Structure 1
Amino acid sequence: MAASETSESARAAERLGPTTKTPERWKRHIVRQLNHRDRSQKLMFQDVIGSYIRLLEKSQQRAQITQGLLGSVMRPDMTKATSADSLDIMITRHEHLVTDLKKTTGELAYQVIELQKKIQIRDSVLEEQHARMFELKSRLGVVESDWSDLQCRVEEVQEGNSVLKQEYDTLLEQHRDMDETFRREKVQGSELLEDIIKGKELAAAQMNNKNEKRVRAREATLKKELETAVKRKVNIDVGFGNLMPTKAAAEKGEFREKTDRRPTRSIRSASVTSPRILDSIKELFEIRKRGSSVSSVEEDLYLPAGVCVVARVPARALHILDAHELGINAVKFSPNSKLLATGGTDRVIKLWDVRAGRLISRGTLEGSNGGITSIEFDPTGTKILAASYDKSALFWKLDECAPKFTLTGHSRKVTAAKFKCSLRHVVTGSADRTVKLWDLQRAACTRTIDVLSYCSDLVCSEYFVVSGHFDKKIRFWDSRSSSCTKEETLLGKVTSLDMSPDHRQLLSCVRDECLQVIDLRMSNARSSFRADGFKCGSDSSKAIFSPDGNYVAAGSADGAVYIWNVNSGNLETCLPGMHCSSIDAVSWSLSGEFFVSVDKSRRAVLWSDI
């Protein structure tokens, strides 16, 4: 009611407002506040007002009913008894109605009290909301001030970014200019290097031509002198006793000079050219003994360690050990068969003495920055050449732990490194599809041969290099001219190559699960060696000839060693049970007595027929 009266007074004030001549501002303000209060609080009291109106309506209705009942009681046509009874009944009913009205009034009063409580609760909630709104407004002011500060900082950062962007663009332009300059200089450097290499190759070719001309001229002169000497009579008291053919050299058609020179008598001859003939013959023998290479005194005095007459087929394991911390990739016996070298992915080469059927640690060669892929002893057994995953080949002396020098120049891992016959030159093959020739005296690359495929292994002679590749081809190269003279196509990737002791046969291990032997005298003649269970374990699996050339051996992916007879083509033996993983490499001692196999689980096994 108060709210409705307030709203009516406010509306009356608004109606009267325009009629006044000079309305005051405070009155209008009061009217606006009253209207606002009416609008804001009307909803909260709407239930109370409705309940109150319904209560009034019920009260009026009941009053009317009561008046009607009383009027009917007071009618004159009713008898006294009937009126008394009906009066009692009406009084009773009226009392019941009054009681019901009282109950209803109490309930309505209770509802009014509950509604008042709800109004108080809503007022408290509204006050809390007003307090929260005030707090939020204050926080909003703080946030707005922070936002303005951040906007200022964003503008500053954007300005700094624009400055940095300009500097970056300037540096990028400078970098492009410098990169272009670097590329031009690199191209010029490569062209200059190619010119230098071509000049050196031309000089080497000229020197070789001169040497060949000199040798041919000397041979022609010697031939003429010999023809002249044959035509003339010569009296010789003592013959060529100081020139004795050795048994090994006689088989090759060569002679060597005796080391124990005996006193000889002078040669009486009617020809003045006789001493020159003897000197020429001596020089010719020396040239034939050394070949066309220029060797040191140590190499001239070097004699082979020996030749294996019959290789023993291994039958049982003498010694089993974990030779490295990681897998083993390469193994090789020294020429004297008393020393073994193993190389693994743990970046070291370990040396082992073979004593009484056991492998006894002798030392470690360090210096490689990657795993070892192949090992090669020089014929003297005092030097080791190894290929590595760190794109280089390393050269050690056995009495030194650190490498004497490192041959770098490949762009990917070096898969094979081998000595040439002169012992002063090395050949390396790499996954970068190149074969390089090196001069050990200068530790420099003298020639690079570009190949069309990944080089997995190679073997070499004095003038030729044979390489095996992943494109299923074996290529023969003339190392003097870097030209490919012949290609042999196989049925799978070539993983390794090995040359027979007499240099007449070439063994290749192929990923089509077989070994192939090519007769170098008749390239069309091939022999394949297969066996049930034999499987090439990896792209670097090695197969070898026995020292006498009668057998070929290789390790399988199932951890067994397979040995075939070259002459019959049959499987000679299979040695299972000692390896628990794929065998990567095998080696046969030059004496033919011992055989070693290594696998990827760092195990090395020494075999023999005893």
Structure 2
Amino acid sequence: MMRRVIEFLVPLIGLAVWYFIKDPEAAVAAGISGTALYLTNFLIEKWAGDRLPAKTPKAAPRSEAPPLRPRTDRKVTTGSASPARVAAPTPIERKIAVPREKSRRARPLVRRRTILFAGTSVAVGGVASWLIVEDKRDDSIRTFAGHTDVLFSVRFSPDSKTLATGSMDGTVRLWDVEASSTRKTLTVDGPIGGLGDIHFTPDGSTIMAGAGWAPGVGQQVVFWDARSDSPTRKFPIPGKRSRCAMSPDGRIVAEGGDQKVITLRVRRTWRPLGTLSGHTDVVSDITFSRDGKALASISADKTVRVWDVGTGKEIALTRDQEISSSGGQVSISPDGTLVAYTKGYHATNIWRPSAGAAVHAVTNGVHHFAGNPVFSPDRRHLACVDQWEGSHVIRIFDVGTGVEEKMLYGHESSIASLVYSPDGTKLASAGSDKTARLWSVG
């Protein structure tokens, strides 16, 4: 019993040291592998001991001494009664002692060896951690570092030469995509709760970002001239939890949040064009189709809706009780025929509004949370984020089949935003590790 306890504790002690001084995630994987190896070893021993026949000992050799002759002596009785009776000869045989067979089990197929087991456990665990966690792998082709706080949003300029990132540090940075260097830093006067929901006008001359709620200021939408460093206009947004989206032609801005309605406004004047009413809880995300004629939204009321921007009418609706109670993210394909939305914690569902039903759930390989879905410009692929136990992976799926085609590692913390370049050859991401990254996906 003590031997088994020692065998189990030795590798665990080693893994505990590994956990605190080297690599927690690898140690967890190694611990799981080591425990599995121990149990496998134990079960094989148990099976071998119960199933294999015991060895039959050889019979003891018989004595080489010559056999004894039968007795021939006779017992004679005298008298007149009857003639003498002679006893029949009784042979006497030598009894040879045969040792009693000892009952014993067969030797097990696998012999326990504490040191070997400990080393094998750690080795197997290390391999498992590399194959499963791969936390040291970096597939990005460029890293953009300079923000001093977490990032909320990332967006390509129309010519794909500039990357804009918005951060909790209250700035929007414009990066040279090829050089990974900062071209310009855009700021806002006064307190703000971070900048996100970045968009460019089609000619790239104007940049828009949503400023998060801050005490005494509230939420705002801020516009900059791409050639200047100061904001040109700021407009307030009601509520404390709002999302903003700009139509691809740059003419309309949609904003929605805890007011439960989506308001459409003229970008230049901020004049309201109308409202899209129907959601009964917080609107957590909104997005325009490429032609700007349709808008998709998702809400904490567990519905996804598609709207006609021109008429303000709802044209499609799906209810899904597996949508998170806090809402989720939504994306609409460039041609407006498909909508992807986050479904609970393990899938992004692809919905075809015209058919009125989901096409399929992208779940292959997604371990924890399939968030931030985004369609490629050609509509053939869907990228989403898998936030899994400290390993933040971007996964790319084939829209038609749902088969995973690529996994991208590199971020060291949660990923808040994904976007394809206009030509579809690159993917950009923004994360809580204060960096943006560029990936080759063409």
SS in 1 for 2:221: strand
Whether 1:403 and 2:231 are equivalent positions in the alignment is: yes
Q: Give 1:484-563 correspondences, 5 Å limit.
A: 484-490=314-320, 491-493=322-324, 494-536=327-369, 541-557=371-387, 558-563=391-396
Whether 1:459 and 2:282 are equivalent positions in the alignment is: no
Q: Which residue identity does 2:436 align to in structure 1?
A: A
Counting helix residues as a fraction of each chain, which structure ranks higher? Answer: 1
Shift of 1:480: 4.9
Q: In 2, are the aligned partners of 1:386 and 1:417 still within 8 Å (CA)?
A: no
Q: Which residue identity does 1:532 align to in structure 2?
A: G
Whether 1:429 and 2:256 are equivalent positions in the alignment is: yes
Whether 1:394 and 2:222 are equivalent positions in the alignment is: yes
Match of 1:320 in 2: 143
Q: Which of residues 169, 172, 177 is equivalent to 1:346?
A: 169
Q: Which of residues 168, 191, 194 is equivalent to 1:371?
A: 194
SS in 2 for 1:542: strand
Q: In 2, are the aligned partners of 1:416 and 1:456 still within 8 Å (CA)?
A: no
Q: 1 CA distance for matches of 2:435 and 2:367?
A: 19
- 1:515-574 superposed Cα distances (whole Å, 9 cap, x missing partner): 12222332324221013343227xxx4221112211111122231111111122111111
Match of 2:182 in 1: 361
Q: Which residue identity does 1:407 align to in structure 2?
A: F
Q: In 2, are the aligned partners of 1:433 and 1:453 still within 8 Å (CA)?
A: yes
SS in 2 for 1:335: coil
Q: In 1, are the aligned partners of 2:223 and 2:234 still within 8 Å (CA)?
A: yes
- 1:290-337 superposed Cα distances (whole Å, 9 cap, x missing partner): xxxxxxxxxxxxxxxxxxxxxxxxx93222343411111111111211
* Structure 1 residues 524 and 581, CA gap change in structure 2 (3 angstroms): same
Q: In 1, are the aligned partners of 2:244 and 2:253 still within 8 Å (CA)?
A: no
SS in 1 for 2:348: strand
Q: 2 CA distance for matches of 1:609 and 1:486?
A: 32
Q: In 2, are the aligned partners of 1:332 and 1:341 still within 8 Å (CA)?
A: yes
Match of 1:115 in 2: none
Counting strand residues as a fraction of each chain, which structure ranks higher? Answer: 2
Q: In 2, are the aligned partners of 1:316 and 1:609 still within 8 Å (CA)?
A: no
Match of 1:605 in 2: 437
Q: Which residue identity does 2:188 align to in structure 1?
A: G
Q: In 1, are the aligned partners of 2:349 and 2:362 still within 8 Å (CA)?
A: yes
Q: In 1, are the aligned partners of 2:171 and 2:186 still within 8 Å (CA)?
A: yes
Q: Which residue identity does 1:360 align to in structure 2?
A: S
4+ residue runs of structure 1 moved beyond 6 angstroms?
A: none
Shift of 1:395: 2.0
Match of 2:159 in 1: 336
* Structure 1 residues 535 and 506, CA gap change in structure 2 (3 angstroms): same
Match of 1:587 in 2: 419
* Structure 1 residues 548 and 477, CA gap change in structure 2 (3 angstroms): closer
Q: In 1, are the aligned partners of 2:329 and 2:342 still within 8 Å (CA)?
A: yes
Shift of 1:508: 1.5
Q: Which residue identity does 1:361 align to in structure 2?
A: T
Whether 1:418 and 2:418 are equivalent positions in the alignment is: no
Q: In 1, are the aligned partners of 2:244 and 2:255 still within 8 Å (CA)?
A: yes
Q: 2 CA distance for matches of 1:479 and 1:426?
A: 11
Q: Give 1:46-61 correspondences, 5 Å limit.
A: none
Q: 2 CA distance for matches of 1:533 and 1:487?
A: 26
- 1:74-104 superposed Cα distances (whole Å, 9 cap, x missing partner): xxxxxxxxxxxxxxxxxxxxxxxxxxxxxxx
Shift of 1:454: 1.0
TM-score (norm 1): 0.44
Q: Which of residues 246, 265, 281 is equivalent to 1:438?
A: 265
Q: Which residue identity does 1:547 align to in structure 2?
A: P
Larger relative CO (CA 8 A, sep 6+): 1 or 2?
2
Q: In 2, are the aligned partners of 1:584 and 1:600 still within 8 Å (CA)?
A: yes
* Structure 1 residues 334 and 572, CA gap change in structure 2 (3 angstroms): same
Q: 1 CA distance for matches of 2:221 and 2:356?
A: 31
Q: In 1, are the aligned partners of 2:380 and 2:399 still within 8 Å (CA)?
A: yes
Q: Which residue identity does 1:394 align to in structure 2?
A: V
Identity level (%) = 24
Q: Give 1:188-337 correspondences, 5 Å limit.
A: 316-337=139-160
- Larger Rg over CA atoms: 1
Report the more deviating stretch, 527-536 or 479-488.
Answer: 479-488
Q: In 2, are the aligned partners of 1:317 and 1:608 still within 8 Å (CA)?
A: yes
Report the more deviating stretch, 515-524 or 549-558.
Answer: 515-524
Q: In 2, are the aligned partners of 1:393 and 1:428 still within 8 Å (CA)?
A: no
Q: Which residue identity does 1:602 align to in structure 2?
A: K
SS in 2 for 1:465: strand
* Structure 1 residues 365 and 442, CA gap change in structure 2 (3 angstroms): same
Q: Which of residues 193, 197, 203 is equivalent to 1:380?
A: 203
* Structure 1 residues 323 and 457, CA gap change in structure 2 (3 angstroms): farther
Q: 1 CA distance for matches of 2:336 and 2:397?
A: 19
* Structure 1 residues 444 and 497, CA gap change in structure 2 (3 angstroms): same
Q: In 2, are the aligned partners of 1:561 and 1:574 still within 8 Å (CA)?
A: yes
Q: 2 CA distance for matches of 1:505 and 1:530?
A: 17
Q: In 2, are the aligned partners of 1:393 and 1:417 still within 8 Å (CA)?
A: no
Q: 2 CA distance for matches of 1:522 and 1:388?
A: 37
* Structure 1 residues 475 and 533, CA gap change in structure 2 (3 angstroms): closer
Q: 2 CA distance for matches of 1:588 and 1:453?
A: 30
Q: Which residue identity does 2:415 align to in structure 1?
A: I
Shift of 1:436: 1.1
Q: In 2, are the aligned partners of 1:430 and 1:456 still within 8 Å (CA)?
A: yes
Q: Give unmatched runs, 5+ long, in structure 2.
A: 1-137, 214-218
SS in 1 for 2:378: coil
User: Would you say how many aligned residue pairs link Structure 1 and Structure 2?
Assistant: 289
SS in 2 for 1:316: coil
Q: 1 CA distance for matches of 2:362 and 2:146?
A: 30
SS in 2 for 1:363: strand
Q: Give 1:12-161 correspondences, 5 Å limit.
A: none
Q: 2 CA distance for matches of 1:533 and 1:526?
A: 18
Q: 2 CA distance for matches of 1:448 and 1:547?
A: 28
The two structures, once aligned, show a CA RMSD in angstroms of 2.3
